[in-house]
Amino acid sequence: MIDDGKYELFVGGEFVPAEGSETITTTNPATEERLAEVPAGTAGDVDRAVATATDALDDWRLLDPAERGRLLHALADAIRDERDRLARIETLDNGKPLSQARRDVDGAARYFEYYAGVADKVQGESIPLSAEYVDYTLREPLGVTGQIIPWNLPINILGRSVAPALASGNVSVVKPAEQTPLTALEVARLADDVGFPPGVLNVVTGYGPEAGAALAGHPDLDGISFTGSVPTGREVGTAAVENITHVHLELGGKSPNVVFPDADLEAALDGTVTGIFATNAGQVCSAGSRLLVHEDVHAEFVDRLAGRAADLTVGPGIEDPDVGPLVSAEQFEKVTRYLDVGREEAGEPVVGGEALDRPGYFVEPTVFDDVANEARIAQEEIFGPVLSVIPFADETEAFELANAVDYGLVAGIFTSDVGRAHRFAREVEAGQVYVNEWFAGGVETPFGGRKRSGFGREKGLEAIDSYTTTKNVCLRIDR
Ligand code: ADP
C-alpha cells in the first residue's frame, strides 16, 4: 500500500504510476464505503507490463529450477507471515467471513509451497527409437503468461494460477478483478521482498473490458489463464485464438449435489450448507447449487436443511459470520433478480428469499424446493446463496438430471453404496467428483471443467502441463 489506501500498479519489481490518472475505488461490500483506490490500467499499462515481463523471461526460465523453487517457497512463507493482514484486506475488499479469508490465504501460500516443490521436477522423457537415434523431450515454459483473476477468491486463485506458471519458468502479468484488486498487489510486493527478480510477477489493475481485454489480446503473450464467467471467457478465448495464444478457461458451474437415502444425512447436510451457503455466500464456481435429493428422504432432508440455513449467521465478514455480503451492488442486483425468478418458477422459498434491510449487499440463504430441472434457477449460475432442490426417484433419473445442464465443473454424491459412487463418478460430466464431502480435495487435485465450464486443468501436477510445452529432440548418432 502506498498511503491512504492508494495503490499503484506493480511492474518490474516496484509500484509504479499508471499512464493515466483514472482510478477505481474499491468498496467494502458490508458497508458500501470506500476502501481503497487502484489505477484503472489501460492498454498502454498492459503493454509496459508485458514488455517488462518479456525482458525478465530469459533470466527466469534459465535460472536453476531449485532456486526458482526456493523463491516460491519464500513467497509461501511471506504470505503465511502476513496471514492476518492479508485475510483482513481480503475480507474488507470481497466481503467474505474472516475465517474463510484466512483459509484462502492459507490456500494461496500452499499453492506457492506445492509448486515450489515441483519447480525442479518438470522433466521430460527419453523415447526409444532404433539404434541410430537418441530422442528426448524438453518441457519448456510457454513464456510470458497472463492470469485474469475473478473477484470471488482473489488471493487463492492468484496462487492457483500464478504459482504453477512461475514454477515452470514462465513470467506473469496478473489482472485482478476490479472489485477485489488489493491482495494481488500485496502478493506482488511480497514476491519482491523475498527476492524475486524484477519483472517476473507484475500486476496491472483495471477494468475487464479495458485492461483485461488488452491482456487477453496481447500479441506478445504466450499463454493466458482466465477464471470467470462464460461470456467473458468466450471473449478472452476469442482474443487469445486471434494471436494463437495458448488459452486456459475455467468458467462457471451449476453443479449437482446428489443425495441418496443410504447416505449419512448429517454429512450430506454439512456438505450442502458448505457447498452453497457457508463458502463465500455461494459465490463459488464449484458451488453445489443444484441439490438432487431422493424422494424417500426429500421432505425430511429439505426440512432439516431449511433449519440449518435459517440458523446461519449473516453479517459483515469482519465479524466472521457464516455468510458475508455479496461482493458488489451489481452482484446483489443479479442475485435478488434471481430471487424473483425463483418465486415465479417455484413459488415461495422454504427458507430465506430476502435481502437484509441494512447497508451492504446481504442476501439470506435461500432454498427453492421442487424446482423443475428446466427452470432458469436450476440451469443458470446465480453465484449467490440460492439453492434449487430437485427430487428424483431412482439412480438412473438422478444421473440423467445431474448431467442435464450446460455446465460440467464439479459434481458431488452422498451415498454409502461404493458401487453407486463409482458409477456416478464414471457417468457424470464434470472435471471433479466429490464423494461424501463437498469441496473434497485440495491443492494437489486437478481442477477444471467440461462442457461450458471450460477446459484445461489447474491444481496438482496437471497445472504444469497447462503452463509448459513439449519440445522433442531427435539426434542421429551414427554420423
Ligand atoms: P463478473 O461478470 O462476475 O464480474 P467476469 O468473468 O466478467 O465476471 O470477470 C472475471 C475477470 O475477467 C475480472 O478480472 C474482469 O475484470 C475480467 N474481464 C471482464 N471483462 C473482460 C474482457 N472483456 N476481457 C478480459 N477480461 C475481462
Closest Cα to atom 26, ligand 1: which residue? Answer: 212
| Domain assignment present for 33 | yes
Residue 175 located in a structural domain: yes
Pick the catalytic residue: 37, 113, 178, 250? 250
Q: Which triple of cell numbers denotes residue 411?
A: 459434481
Burial 34-70 (b: 16+ CB within 10 A, else e): ebbbbbbbbbebbbbbbbbbbebbeebbebebeebbb
Same domain, 269 and 378: yes
Q: How confident is the model at residue 5 (pLDDT cuts 50, 70, 90)?
A: confident
CA dist 254 and 234 (Å) reads 18
CB 149 within 8 Å of CB 449? no
In terms of residue numbers, what domain contains 37?
9-251+454-472
Q: What is the pLDDT of residues 84-128, one digit of tens each?
A: 999 999 999 999 999 999 999 999 999 999 999 999 999 999 999
- The DSSP annotation for 382-410 comes to --SSEEEEEEESSHHHHHHHHH-SSEESE
Task: Note if 474 is an active site residue.
Answer: no
d(CA 70, CA 213): 33
> Each residue of 40-67: pLDDT tens digit?
999 999 999 999 999 999 999 999 999 9
Tell me: do 268 and 372 sit in the same domain: yes
Look at the chain and report how many structural domains it folds into: 2
Which residue ranges have their beta carbon within 6 Å of ligand 1? 148-150, 175, 177-178, 208-209, 212-213, 216, 228-229, 232, 235-236
Q: Which atom of ligand 1 is nearest to the CA of 227?
A: 10
The verdict on whether 250 is a catalytic residue reads: yes
Q: Are residues 303 and 173 in the same domain?
A: no
The rounded distance, in Å, linking the Cα atoms of 154 and 144 is 21
Asked whether residue 65 is domain-assigned, the answer is yes
If asked whether residues 351 and 461 sit together in one domain, one would say no
Residue 23 lies in a domain: yes
**241, amino acid identity:** V
CA-nearest of 225, 277, 263, 135 to 455 is: 225
Residue closest by Cα to atom 20 of ligand 1: 208
How many of the other CB atoms lie within 10 Å of CB of 198? Answer: 16
Q: Are residues 397 and 465 in the same domain?
A: no
How many residues in total does the chain contain?
Answer: 479
Q: Does some domain include residue 44?
A: yes
Q: Is residue 434 part of a domain?
A: yes
**Same-domain pairing of 335 and 376:** yes
Residue 339, in any domain of the structure: yes
List the CATH number of the domain containing 106: 3.40.605.10
Residue 361 in any domain: the answer is yes
User: Distance between CA atoms of 460 and 68, rounded to whole angstroms?
Assistant: 18
346 with 387, same domain?
Answer: yes
Q: Answer yes or no: do 179 and 274 share one domain.
A: no
Per-residue model confidence as pLDDT tens digits over 174-217:
999 999 999 999 999 999 999 999 999 999 999 999 999 999 99
Does the reported pTM lie above 0.75?
yes
Residues 231 and 269 in one domain: no
Coil, helix or strand at residue 225:
strand
C-alpha distances (whole Å) from 251 to each of 111, 364, 410, 447 are 20, 25, 11, 11
Domain with residue 364: its CATH number is 3.40.309.10
Compute the distance from residue 211 Cα to the ligand 1 centre, in Å: 10
Ligand 1 centre and the CA of 268: distance in Å? 33
In this structure, are 53 and 172 located in the same domain? Answer: yes
Reported as a single tens digit per residue, the pLDDT across 218-274 is 999 999 999 999 999 999 999 999 999 999 999 999 999 999 999 999 999 999 999
**Residue 454 and residue 460: Cα distance in Å, rounded?**
17
Q: Are 360 and 464 in a shared domain?
A: no
Same domain, 218 and 269: no
